[in-house]
Amino acid sequence: MRLALVGLPGSGKSSVGRVLARKLGVSFTDSDTVIEQRIGEPIRSYFEREGEGRFRDLEQQVIGELCASRLGVLATGGGAVLREVNRRVLHEDCTVLYLRSSPEELHRRLRHDTQRPLLQVKDPRARLQQLYRERDPLYRETAHFVVETGRPTVQTLVGMILMQLELAGIVDANRVPPPSSRRARTLELGPYTSGMSSISVTPLSGIETIDIALGERSYPIRIGSGLLRAPESFAGVPRSPLAVIVSNTTVAPLYAQLLRDALRGKHAQVELITLPDGESHKDWTTLNLIFDALLAGGADRKTILYALGGGVVGDMTGFAAASYMRGVPFVQVPTTLLAQVDSSVGGKTGINHPRGKNMIGAFHQPVCVVVDLETLSTLPMRELRAGLAEVIKYGPIADASFLGWVEANLDALLARDVATLRHAVRRSCEIKAAVVGQDEREAGLRAILNFGHTFGHAIEAGLGYGEWLHGEAVGCGMAMAAETSARLGLLPEGDAERLIRLIDRAGLPVKGPDLGADRYLELMRLDKKAEAGEIKFVLLDAIGHAVLRSVPDATLRQVLASRCT
């Protein structure tokens, strides 16, 4: 196995490469380090004395030798792709990952770096923009995978890369060192600070913004308090004669007027559609209420829909927006914790079918997501606990340190401490944005976001939608998935028990309803991850790293016997 990393200076090739090699149990080589050992001096000195041409000759020789003789992970210099021979050798002899970072993000990282020759200029930002324009097409030509680095931690980024390589069949999951030898992911106890990726604070009254990078479908997630009262929260949303707020009978009396007032300067007319509340109404009948109102009100393709509510409202409004006149814009304004950290982000929309949850729908990205933390003050405690299930989820699948932070701060989250909730929402959205940016339509990596959901969806469908809240079912599903991981020998029992204890502390069920093993298996075979009737489960092989696996029916029956009452 030979992996190579390419990308602009500062994109993280060396940092990511070292951790990736350690996780895989293979060697790591940095081509620039090999060059410096060969010339006996820093590259900058050699570059200044001998010129770029001589340096590129040496670089070409070193890369050719490394690609021909070294197995493991190779980090290349930022300009390695400038020569066609290097691009060809890398592409033919290695699996190449392009770590793509924006010039603005690179400037933030490198503004104090004095060791990179090409950046020792009067305007490093302009130089990085020029390098990006020149080299991005060459990196893409060389690469087999483009990895949007964004701002996740190195550990999170490596976890996502491993998942993508495993799903592509490039890395044999059985060759990855077992959990017992991967203790770098052990949870950090106490207040969580290290490894947290930074957030851009926009000029919009301190609103924190996380961007989902999807090319022309990119959009911001804006997080703050009092955003429903601030028209600037909706900056970038197109003006239109008509806007339609879609809400429900619980949320509309609390927040619809606030949103209406904030939108007055953007839309001449703002109408309200009020739906019945609850998961049991996430169906064709209720969806048609939206279509009926849009048609009766003369809504056209410029009409903007605003989803004001929890996950049900967001999913249905998004599906209506994807379908009405073959697609109109919409904005997510989530008012539940679950919607703020999960369902409002990523463009999944849809309705339930009696035989399966979210089986009918579409991918349709919003124009933006506006998260007003003040709406959590009116959220019933049961709904708050349900939302915490999705917060907890991000730790075991992608960020062990964040799971440790949740453990240490669970009481503050349950007490609705605003600063603590803000961090939980922010970090959850960062992780989801990074995953969705890599895999918008769930072709591979995005499946990790369904940890606990295969069991959870079976519980919801088996009991009848609305009997358990979605987050309650996911919490129980994560407990089942953790035990499954342990029974298969993927996850140490102590780690599984630790996760189950946290779910229980959050006030979420860790024992499922006794639907009967046959009924569970029947429902889980309808899961969207199933292939030819074979159920695929998102499991854990370490805290902070998820894998996709088939599970023998016998093991599932054991788990269900243990976890159902």
Contact 376, 419 (CB under 8 A): no
Catalytic residues: 326, 348, 390, 432, 442, 446, 450, 453, 457, 470
Contact 440, 224 (CB under 8 A): no
Q: Is 174 exposed, middle or buried (0-12, 13-18, 19+ CB in 10 A)?
A: exposed
pLDDT of the residue at 528: 64
**Distance from the first to the final alpha carbon of the chain:** 46
pLDDT at 217 over 70: yes
pLDDT of the residue at 304: 97
Whether 2-149 shares its CATH topology with 213-379 is answered yes
What is the C-alpha radius of gyration for the chain, rounded to an integer number of angstroms? 25
CB atoms within 10 A of CB 242: 17
Average pLDDT, stretch 91-110?
84
pLDDT, one tens digit per residue, over 320-367 is 999 999 999 999 999 999 999 999 998 999 999 988 888 899 999 999
> CA quadruple 343, 214, 543, 524: dihedral positive or negative?
positive
374: left (phi over 0), alpha (psi -120 to 50) or beta: alpha
Q: What is the CATH number of domain 2-149?
A: 3.40.50.300
Alpha-carbon distance of 320 to 341, in angstroms, equals 22
CA distances from 357 to 285, 463, 497, 508, 527 (A): 16, 12, 28, 20, 8
pLDDT at 198 over 50: no
Q: 3-class secondary structure for 197-262?
A: CCCEECCCCCCEEEEECCHHHCEEEEEECCHHHCHHHHCCCCCEEEEEEEEECCCHHHHHHHHHHH
Q: What is the CATH number of domain 213-379?
A: 3.40.50.1970
Give the chain's largest Cα–Cα span: 77
Domain coordinates in residue numbering, the chain? 2-149, 213-379, 388-406+423-563
At 214, give phi and psi (nearest 5°): -130, 35
Superfamily in which the 388-406+423-563 domain is placed by CATH = Dehydroquinate synthase-like - alpha domain (1.20.1090.10)
The DSSP secondary-structure symbol of 440 reads T
Alpha-carbon distance of 512 to 477, in angstroms, equals 8
72-75 and 2-6 as β-strands: parallel, antiparallel, unpaired? parallel
Average pLDDT, stretch 468-490?
97
Q: How confident is the model at residue 118 (pLDDT cuts 50, 70, 90)?
A: low
Q: How confident is the model at residue 468 (pLDDT cuts 50, 70, 90)?
A: very high
User: pLDDT averaged over the chain?
Assistant: 87
At 190, give phi and psi (nearest 5°): 90, -175
pLDDT, one tens digit per residue, over 384-422 is 999 999 999 999 999 898 999 999 999 999 999 999 999
Task: Say which amino acid occupies 489.
Answer: G
pLDDT, one tens digit per residue, over 50-82 is 998 999 999 999 999 999 876 799 999 999 999
Alpha-carbon distance of 166 to 534, in angstroms, equals 18
At 523, give phi and psi (nearest 5°): -70, -40
Give me 542's structure tokens.
């370490």
Alpha-carbon distance of 483 to 196, in angstroms, equals 28
The DSSP secondary-structure symbol of 280 reads G
